[in-house]
Amino acid sequence: MGMTAPTHITLSATQAATLCAAARAAHPHESCGLLVGEGEGPLTITDIVATANVADDPSSAFAVDPQAQFDLLRSLRGSNRRVIGHYHSHSRGPAQPSPRDLAMAHDPQALWLLVAGEELRAFRRPAEAHSFVEVPVMVLS
């Protein structure tokens, strides 16, 4: 597990479209899932793994299915790919972390990718920080 802060994340236009479509399909609930990637400074998303939103109130919160996370971690063992974070959609409001997101952000290595409408923004919460830091997202055509 490297400790290099990501300089930016890269994903394909197809992956971006998949995330936006999942957000539309889940509306008015929040869509969510795990992001698999590789790299240190620049992170590349290699896979998007949609999971069930098991939050008590999926219209205003998200919780990734723990069994799906466990299965994914096991399937990646021995590869150079890893879970780099997760995504979720905001069915109301902008692609901006909510106070609830901040309260849930315990892993300084984890990337938070937010989807609102057609907008994708990524954030992480450094260990010493009391707020999120934005990580630029590059969508490759």
Tens-place pLDDT, residues 119-138? 999 999 998 888 999 999 99
- Domain membership of residue 29 (yes or no) is yes
- Domain membership of residue 1 (yes or no) is no
pLDDT value, residue 92: 82
- Domain membership of residue 92 (yes or no) is yes
Find the domain containing 104 and state its range. 8-140
- Domain membership of residue 121 (yes or no) is yes
Tens-place pLDDT, residues 65-104? 999 999 999 999 999 999 999 999 998 888 999 999 999 9
- Domain membership of residue 2 (yes or no) is no
Whether the bond into 28 is cis, omega within 30 of 0: yes
pLDDT value, residue 137: 97
The model scores a pTM over 0.85: yes
Cβ atoms within 10 Å of 72's Cβ, excluding its own:
18
Q: Are 85 and 60 in contact (CB under 8 A)?
A: no
Count of structural domains, the chain: 1
- Domain membership of residue 3 (yes or no) is no
State the CATH number of the domain containing residue 93. 3.40.140.10
Tens-place pLDDT, residues 25-63? 999 999 999 999 999 889 999 999 999 999 999 999 999
